[in-house]
């Protein structure tokens, strides 16, 4: 669990790990920064769940749904 900058909210995240020597992500997910994430297209319709936004960590990273903190 990550420290939250929103002290009045509690949240947790289950994460599927990926990368070298780990199993591939499940169908429909992609590996980004050692975690399996839901891909998205910033130019297409919003496919991210409520509270998430389409985000790219760096120019070489894929676009994925990321918590909108």
Q: 32 or 69, which is more confident?
A: 32
**Is residue 14 situated within a structural domain?**
no
pLDDT value of residue 1: 38
- Mean residue pLDDT across the chain: 85
Give pTM, 2 decimals: 0.71
**Is residue 16 situated within a structural domain?**
no
Instruction: Please check the confidence at residue 11 and state whether its pLDDT lies above 70.
Output: no
Q: In terms of residue numbers, what domain contains 48?
A: 38-67
Total domain count, the chain: 1
The CA-atom distances, in angstroms, between 20 and each of 12, 16, 32, 52 are: 25, 13, 12, 27
Q: Of the candidates 18, 23, 32, 34, which has an alpha carbon nearest to the alpha carbon of residue 65?
A: 32
**Is residue 51 situated within a structural domain?**
yes
Per-residue pLDDT band for 6 (boundaries 50, 70, 90) equals low
């Amino acid at each position: 669990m990550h420290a939250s900058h929103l002290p009045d909210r509690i949240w947790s995240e289950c994460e599927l790990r990926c990368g070298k020597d780990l199993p591939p992500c499940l169908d429909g997910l992609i590996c980004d920064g050692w975690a399996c994430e839901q891909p998205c297209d910033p130019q297409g319709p919003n496919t991210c769940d409520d509270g998430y936004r389409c985000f790219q960590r760096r120019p070489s990273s894929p676009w994925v749904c990321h918590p909108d903190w």
